[in-house]
Amino acid sequence: MKRSDKPTIQVTQSFLPKFSVYQKYLQKIWNNHYLTNNGPLVLELEKKLAHFFHVPYCIFVSNGTIAIQLAIRALDLKGEIITTPFTYVATANAIIWEHCTPVFVDIEPNTCTIDVTKIEHAITKKTCAILAVHVYGFPCDVAAIQKIAKKHNLKVIYDAAHAFGAMYKKKSLVSYGDIATVSFHATKLFHTGEGGAIITKNAKLAEKIKLYRTFGHVYDEYKTYGINAKNSEFHAAMGLSILPSMPTILKRLKKISSWYDKELKNTGLTIPHADKNTTPNHAYYPVIFKTEQQLKKTRAVLQKNKIFPRRYFYPSLNTLQFLHPNSCPESESIALRVLCLPFYQALQKETVRRITAYIRSAL
């Protein structure tokens, strides 16, 4: 096959269920004419997701960013929120949008999650919460964060956009914290096309979030202010169609990850891995190069051969002027050197070998 004839390989590829499965749910929508406003499919998805996560409350919303905003609002947070600079900009944007100030704390290099040894140094009289991110599905040090939060009377939110299906100490990673938020964007491991969810164990918080999600009222009973964060029956239908396939997808991704591990052995690349207490979801395959120059050279070789990895996350958010910049040298360094390789359940072994062969040649 000539290079020009080779298929394009993107960093990810959304999983789609069998159309006949999705069609069955569409038929239900056509039959009952219920399109939105927390319809029967939305309620069914929330119930099944709560069962999947082993949590009492899972609230389906329109996207993962609004999930973080609702979490901040529901916890009545004001002031400074300690967070990580090594994440997608939506995490910090949500903090600012809710009139709070993000305070960036550097990361630890093994999992790229927030460095808990640096959190207390960043706490001030204005600090109201810790918003940590389970990066690439690797868990933050949830025990240490909870201990710090309890000591300083802080709330804990986990941005668990990458954590679907990941377990820590035999518990779903989304079950930790006062609130965890997840994204169901089309590029995520589990998706609803567009969407997200809020997970909490607190009944009062759950009811508060449900009200905020629907303008603050139920029919003619107005209880509080709110916004429109609802999601549609069509999006719920996609989620319900995909959810039964998740155990198979997780198993498949574990195998693909092992192929990459084998092919990239002895290349000098750093490949982050979770600790023994974690059952990872293998949602991404990040590799860390020794230098940014090495990364750029490798990426150029891959792109020349129609393979498109992603610098995820880049740049380190603490370097952006509108996000209250400060020094986080570990995050800044890794952000310059990390590349997420193509990774999705339909990826074949020969494709992994092809990708890694180009990487080895570039190195």
Round to whole Å and give the CA distance between 285 and 162. 12
Do 144 and 261 lie in one domain? The reply is no
pLDDT number for residue 325: 86
Q: Cβ distance 304 to 358 under 8 Å? A: no
Round to whole Å and give the CA distance between 134 and 158. 7
Residue 4 has pLDDT above 90, yes or no: no
Q: 203-248 pLDDT, tens per residue?
A: 999 999 999 999 999 999 999 999 999 999 999 999 999 999 999 9
Q: What percent of the chain has a predicted confidence (pLDDT) above 90?
A: 96
Round to whole Å and give the CA distance between 260 and 316. 26
pLDDT number for residue 181: 98
Q: 121-154 pLDDT, tens per residue?
A: 999 999 999 999 999 999 999 999 999 999 999 9
pLDDT number for residue 113: 97
Using the 3D structure, point to which of 244, 270, 301 is the last residue of a domain.
244
Residue 66 has pLDDT above 80, yes or no: yes
pLDDT number for residue 6: 78
Q: Cβ distance 67 to 135 under 8 Å? A: no
Do 251 and 175 lie in one domain? The reply is no
Say which residues have a Cβ less than 8 Å from residue 70's Cβ, sequence separation at least 6: 61, 198, 209, 212, 213, 229
Its pTM surpasses 0.75:
yes
- pLDDT band for 107, please (50, 70, 90 cuts): very high
Residues paired with residue 270 on neighbouring β-strands, in sequence order: 288
Range of the domain at 348: 3-14+245-362
Using the 3D structure, point to which of 244, 275, 300 is the last residue of a domain.
244
Average pLDDT over residues 333-353: 98
Residue 284 has pLDDT above 80, yes or no: yes
Q: Output the domain CATH number for residue 269.
A: 3.90.1150.10
Using the 3D structure, point to which of 185, 220, 244 is the last residue of a domain.
244
Round to whole Å and give the CA distance between 28 and 317. 44
- pLDDT band for 1, please (50, 70, 90 cuts): very low
**Measured between alpha carbons, how far is residue 298 from residues 8, 99, 302, 318, 357 in Å?**
17, 41, 6, 26, 11
Do 167 and 210 lie in one domain? The reply is yes
Residue 156 has pLDDT above 70, yes or no: yes
Do 118 and 219 lie in one domain? The reply is yes
- pLDDT band for 263, please (50, 70, 90 cuts): very high
Q: Output the domain CATH number for residue 68.
A: 3.40.640.10
pLDDT number for residue 57: 98
pLDDT number for residue 274: 85
